[in-house]
Structure 1
Amino acid sequence: MNTTGIDASPASPKGNWRAFFDLVRKAKPSYKMLAIALALSLVNTAAGLFVPLFTKNLVDGFTLNSLRTYQIVLLVCAFVAQAAAGGVSIYLLNKFGQQMLAGLREMLWRKLLYLPVAHYDQEETGGLISRVTNDTGVVKQVISEHIAGFVTGVISIIGSVIIMLTLDWQMTLLLLIAVPLTLFILIPLGRQMHKISRNMQKETANFTSVLTQVLSEVRLVKSSNAEPIEYARGKQGISKLFHLGVREGKIQAFIGPLMGIVIMTLMVVIIGYGGLRVSSGSISAGELVAFILYLIQIVMPLGQITAFFTQLQRAMGATERMIEILGKSEEMQQEGQPVPSADATITLENVSFHYDNGEPILKEVSFYMPSGKVTALVGPSGSGKTTLFALLERYYEPEQGRILYGSRSIEEFSLVSWRSQIGYVSQESPLMSGTIRDNITYGLDREVSEQQLRSVAEMAYADGFVDELPEGFNTQVGERGIKLSGGQRQRIAIARALLRNPRILMLDEATSSLDSKSELVVQEALHNLMKGRTTLVIAHRLSTVVDADQIIFLDKGKITGSGTHDELMNTHAMYREFAKQQLRYAEHSE
């Protein structure tokens, strides 16, 4: 369900304009501030329109005797008003732009947090980061830096033309011939700039994605001696951005001299033709000076208007990508009933599932997990064990079948209530950058006392190594917990699960990647965690399987056997082979 109120469907040019301004409105900036800023910009422009007229009168009737104090005061006041109005307007527009930028980023950040996991299976992280940072910045730039130039530029041009027509309509018409000729050249260039800008935003997102991926896995890069390969990938992105930048520079290099030629040509024409008009007495010298000044007030805003439309095209391209994200359906965290307080059996009824590639992962899987008992999932890689975990966490929904808690489908419960019942400890045990305390209490919206923290650390056998650290629970773990060993990370993850006090426990064989000493400690911690809880374990080691109350053997998405260890040893050939391999592995390890 779309919860943003923004239409994410492909739009016409008018639709793109509407979508752009609708997105700005959703950011909820202060329109009062924008109105004041634009009003001050108009004051600045209006004051500028009267300066050439004042200059005309000054030139035509200038003598020391004719110069009056009030004229000097008026001129000084006009300049001061221009400077003050311009300065305050720039400040308010920048503040308005920052408000809008913060609003857009807040919307995108919230949306990214509440999107379902399936979205991240298709999108690269770097591209999403680029949406929140680069694309929002482009929209902000239009509002805070270009919209005032566009509005005042239009007013300046209209006002200047009207005043010039009153001074001398013949010279004004001669002047206006250059405007359509200039636009005839600038509009196609603006379209080319739009295409280049969109490609540049796309390549910037791709380059950001490469940077994010490589730098987050820099240890893998170095251990694989992949620096030359990643350097080549990064260089390719840099090269594409370079060539797009050069193409953009070519257009700008054409626009700049073109505007210069137009200005110089108009200056020559106005001065030459105006000089003839002055010599014939048709206009005064002051009027010629005023014409020249008004000419400048027409030509200069043309550049601002061109820049506005170029930047607006870039912003609409960025808007399309942001609207695409904001229009996606998000997880409804609070919809549904709270999970009943009584423990219940979890039942899977004919559950089938496949990812977007169409390959079936689970095929009519049915089994139950008794309350307070341990169920182990066993099977070859790719048999669907991890997918079952994802379905139980409600990262995805089954294509067919249903999952019950007691007699009710788990989809009847709110996501917040359901996920609060689950404790999950994986092989990697991911940690967030921060302190050990931050990671143990991660996700909790309540205060955790020092006694509670130490209690769960003791049960997770984490208190020993924490007390040896100089800063104890306030020790920084580094990005993804890199400053701690695998066993230490696992024990922090177990302490986190203990603090949540979940009814349902899911273990992705949390000891499979540990050395024998760490495994023993973590195994003891897991026993503390599993007491009295409904536990589902992805089992890679025989010790876990032997102790399980029931074992489910998965092969190619189907259940091919279930029962206790002894039952499967007698009835299931593949399970028997699995057990023998584990025994050989254990003997070899010893």
Structure 2
Amino acid sequence: MTSSESSSQSSLKIYLRLLSYVRPYIGIFLLSIIGFVMFASTQPMLAGILKYFVDGLSNPEAVLFPHVPYLRDLQLLQAVPLIIVLIAAWQGLGSYLGNYFLARVSLGLVHDLRVELFNKLLVLPNRYFDTHNSGHLISRITFNVTMVTGAATDAIKVVIREGLTVVFLFIYLLWMNWQLTLVMLAILPVIAVMVSSASKKFRKQSKKIQVAMGDVTHVASETIQGYRVVRSFGGERYEEARFAGASADNTKKQLRMTKTGAIYTPMLQLVIYSAMAVLMFLVLYLRGDSTAGDLVAYITAAGLLPKPIRQLSEVSSTVQKGIAGAESIFEQLDVEPEFDTGTIERDRVSGRLEVRNLSFTYPGTERRVLDDISFSVAPGQMVALVGRSGSGKSTLASLLPRFYQHSIGQILLDDVEISDYQLRNLRRHISQVTQSVTLFNDTVANNIAYGDLAGAPRSDIEKAAADAYAKEFIDQLPQGLDTQVGENGVLLSGGQRQRLAIARALLKNAPVLILDEATSALDTESERHIQAALDHAMQGRTTLVIAHRLSTIEKADQILVMDGGRIVERGTHAQLLAQNGYYSRLHALGLDEPAPVGAI
């Protein structure tokens, strides 16, 4: 099989899969097809009525339907104008049914694809987000979906409406003079070759346009999210140039596709009208005993053919754009969701945690980030992980809620391997607060009571806020708990956002609590109050603390000192200081020694 045959089969497979999304709307889709059939049937009617109009010029009193009861007295003088109005009304009704109901199918398809794409994002593994930038993911939901629906609905509209128009006109022309009509069929192979050649170019160019549009979205998204850094470091000129470059690249690729279409359409028209010229010559040369009305009707019907044929040929551009867009969409939809073969569900766990001989390497890399890690934590105990940046602390914290899947060693929660828990159930038992706080453009209350916590009693939300030392600043906000915090909490300070994240974790009341630099954004006074709140929150919970600040970890039941993915020391704060080893050196440096080059 040649590469072109393989490509065409792949395109057909993608297109048929795309059309499967029309299935829920099959009823209204059939209504739209009926409308287009009605519309297309009027084209030969209009050509046919011209025959009677021209013949009526010499004899307006002639009867149109001499053998039909009740209509045998209807003269051309009255019949022709009346039929033209009826044809127009029939065409208008067909156009309405076709366009309106197809638009409903199209908009429904856009909605369904966007929702499916977005829902897929919610279950994709973490590694997918590590290797795909947000701009391209957003571009798929916005730009690519629009192109896809053009292929699934707009292209079908042209194929059905214009295709039926061509069919009806050809039938009419064959009925009037089949010999002349066969002459017109000779150009179809030429048109087919031109359409096939243009289709390949359109699809190739469409893929490049999608990537370019994703780059535009990515640059804009990064700049908007990082606008403070841009302004602080004078990055305006750099971002201007970066965005202008991405936009210019997109414009260049769009123009290239437009150029292909601009060359292709006139060439196709030249072929079609050349055939028309030959046809008109033959009509005049071989007119025989045909009336003037017959000749006018035939020429008119033939003259109506170039427009639908041209539109049918141009539809390949729309289809190829859609197939290119569908390819990227289905690529994302076909990604395996988070690995979850767990079957165990528990309403509550005690929080006993044990890690046995755990090693981990990120997919696609070779260096072990964790190497033979073993430790255990009893319920209610606090364990602190310390070490240089890149020593594997945050990776270990990410493995507990299974953001990444380990394959070497075991992580046991209440003596059950965490991969045996049903994923959602496992994560219900774990609260996590990280240095990078995520808040949503919603109220303070809804940010604390988020997700599974939505619907929590107001009193519980207020208590969680108070325990996280957030109530004082919340009470000073214009609407208190009902104040909108802006995108990612932009209207709040770093410490305030951190306290809301801690309040969210406290409200969850999970038996396992992970604090990954959770107090790093707090000022000294806030940290003192938060520390007291955390001391209270950690009672009865297994707590894993990752921190550089001494005040956060000095009360830990056990401190694990990590370096290069291994545990190099373990003990209490006093024991480790007495050893005068690795921890003691880190302590002297403020637990903040820089990471070596290449650390993860």
TM-score, normalised via structure 1 length: 0.92
2:29 alignment partner, one of 29, 34, 37: 34
Residue 22 (structure 1) aligns with = 17
Q: In structure 1, what is the Cα distance between the partners aligned to 2:341 and 2:224?
A: 36
Q: In structure 2, what is the Cα distance between the partners aligned to 1:178 and 1:583?
A: 80
Residue 44 (structure 2) aligns with = 49
Q: In structure 2, what is the Cα distance between the partners aligned to 1:154 and 1:348?
A: 67
Q: In structure 1, what is the Cα distance between the partners aligned to 2:349 and 2:134?
A: 40
Residue 163 (structure 2) aligns with = 154
State the 1:527 CA deviation.
Answer: 2.3
Check if 1:94 corresponds to 2:103.
Answer: yes
**Structure 2: unaligned runs, 5 residues or longer:** 63-75, 594-600
- What is the identity, as a one-letter code, of the residue corresponding to 2:60? L
8 Å Cα contact 1:29-1:99 kept in structure 2: no
Check if 1:328 corresponds to 2:323.
Answer: no
Question: SS where residue 338 of structure 1 aligns?
Answer: coil
Residue 4 (structure 1) aligns with = none
Residue 467 (structure 1) aligns with = 475
1:284 alignment partner, one of 261, 270, 291: 291
Residue 346 (structure 2) aligns with = 339
1:141-220 alignment runs, 5 A limit: 141-220=150-229
State the 1:434 CA deviation.
Answer: 1.2
Q: In structure 2, what is the Cα distance between the partners aligned to 1:191 and 1:328?
A: 27
State the 1:400 CA deviation.
Answer: 0.3
Check if 1:519 corresponds to 2:527.
Answer: yes
8 Å Cα contact 2:548-2:592 kept in structure 1: no
Q: In structure 2, what is the Cα distance between the partners aligned to 1:233 and 1:579?
A: 43
- What is the identity, as a one-letter code, of the residue corresponding to 1:217? G
State the 1:288 CA deviation.
Answer: 2.1
2:585 alignment partner, one of 574, 577, 581: 577
8 Å Cα contact 2:18-2:152 kept in structure 1: no
Residue 317 (structure 1) aligns with = 324
8 Å Cα contact 2:348-2:429 kept in structure 1: no
Question: SS where residue 28 of structure 2 aligns?
Answer: helix
State the 1:267 CA deviation.
Answer: 4.7
1:59-458 alignment runs, 5 A limit: 59-62=54-57, 63-66=59-62, 67-262=76-271, 264-278=273-287, 281-331=288-338, 335-339=342-346, 341-355=348-362, 356-444=364-452, 446-458=454-466
8 Å Cα contact 1:460-1:528 kept in structure 2: no
Moved more, 177-186 or 487-496: 177-186
Q: In structure 1, what is the Cα distance between the partners aligned to 2:465 and 2:149?
A: 47
State the 1:284 CA deviation.
Answer: 2.4
Question: SS where residue 548 of structure 1 aligns?
Answer: coil
- What is the identity, as a one-letter code, of the residue corresponding to 1:64? P
**Structure 1: unaligned runs, 5 residues or longer:** 1-9, 586-590
Moved more, 381-390 or 147-156: 147-156
State the 1:378 CA deviation.
Answer: 0.7
State the 1:111 CA deviation.
Answer: 0.8
Question: SS where residue 350 of structure 1 aligns?
Answer: strand
Moved more, 363-372 or 518-527: 518-527
2:546 alignment partner, one of 520, 538, 553: 538
State the 1:370 CA deviation.
Answer: 1.5
Q: In structure 1, what is the Cα distance between the partners aligned to 2:348 and 2:454?
A: 20
State the 1:160 CA deviation.
Answer: 1.9
Alpha carbons of 1:398 and 1:57: their partners in 2 closer, same or farther (altered >3 Å)?
same
State the 1:399 CA deviation.
Answer: 2.8
8 Å Cα contact 1:196-1:248 kept in structure 2: yes
State the 1:450 CA deviation.
Answer: 2.3
Q: In structure 1, what is the Cα distance between the partners aligned to 2:387 and 2:85?
A: 86
Instruction: Give the % identical residues.
Output: 32
Q: In structure 2, what is the Cα distance between the partners aligned to 1:131 and 1:26?
A: 17
Cα deviation digits, residues 217-259 of structure 1 (max 9, x gap): 1112221211222222212211211211221222222133334
Alpha carbons of 1:568 and 1:500: their partners in 2 closer, same or farther (altered >3 Å)?
same
Cα deviation digits, residues 53-101 of structure 1 (max 9, x gap): 2211331243332325344333321111011111221000010111111
Q: In structure 1, what is the Cα distance between the partners aligned to 2:39 and 2:242?
A: 50
Alpha carbons of 1:350 and 1:337: their partners in 2 closer, same or farther (altered >3 Å)?
same
Question: SS where residue 452 of structure 2 aligns?
Answer: coil
Residue 498 (structure 1) aligns with = 506
Q: In structure 1, what is the Cα distance between the partners aligned to 2:459 and 2:50?
A: 81
Moved more, 285-294 or 335-344: 335-344
Q: In structure 2, what is the Cα distance between the partners aligned to 1:297 and 1:155?
A: 13
Moved more, 440-449 or 171-180: 171-180
- What is the identity, as a one-letter code, of the residue corresponding to 1:498? L
Residue 65 (structure 2) aligns with = none
State the 1:152 CA deviation.
Answer: 2.6
Question: SS where residue 109 of structure 1 aligns?
Answer: helix
Question: SS where residue 582 of structure 1 aligns?
Answer: coil
Residue 5 (structure 1) aligns with = none
8 Å Cα contact 2:341-2:422 kept in structure 1: yes
Alpha carbons of 1:377 and 1:105: their partners in 2 closer, same or farther (altered >3 Å)?
same
How many residue pairs match? The answer is 574
Question: SS where residue 451 of structure 2 aligns?
Answer: coil
Q: In structure 1, what is the Cα distance between the partners aligned to 2:495 and 2:199?
A: 59
Cα deviation digits, residues 275-305 of structure 1 (max 9, x gap): 3334xx3432222222222223321112221
Q: Where do 4+ consecutive residues of structure 1 move more than 6 Å? A: none
1:551 alignment partner, one of 552, 559, 563: 559
State the 1:131 CA deviation.
Answer: 1.3
Q: In structure 2, what is the Cα distance between the partners aligned to 1:138 and 1:296?
A: 32
Q: In structure 2, what is the Cα distance between the partners aligned to 1:144 and 1:75?
A: 30
Question: SS where residue 562 of structure 1 aligns?
Answer: strand
Cα deviation digits, residues 368-412 of structure 1 (max 9, x gap): 112101100011110000000100011011130010012211111
Q: In structure 2, what is the Cα distance between the partners aligned to 1:484 and 1:464?
A: 13
Moved more, 262-271 or 250-259: 262-271
Residue 6 (structure 1) aligns with = none
8 Å Cα contact 1:432-1:439 kept in structure 2: yes
Residue 588 (structure 1) aligns with = none
TM-score, normalised via structure 2 length: 0.91
8 Å Cα contact 2:151-2:321 kept in structure 1: no
Check if 1:566 corresponds to 2:574.
Answer: yes
Q: In structure 2, what is the Cα distance between the partners aligned to 1:447 and 1:414?
A: 23
State the 1:117 CA deviation.
Answer: 1.1
8 Å Cα contact 2:360-2:371 kept in structure 1: yes
Cα deviation digits, residues 566-590 of structure 1 (max 9, x gap): 22122251111111222999xxxxx
Moved more, 86-95 or 338-347: 338-347
Cα deviation digits, residues 173-213 of structure 1 (max 9, x gap): 33333333344334323322222122111211222122222
Q: In structure 1, what is the Cα distance between the partners aligned to 2:404 and 2:438?
A: 21
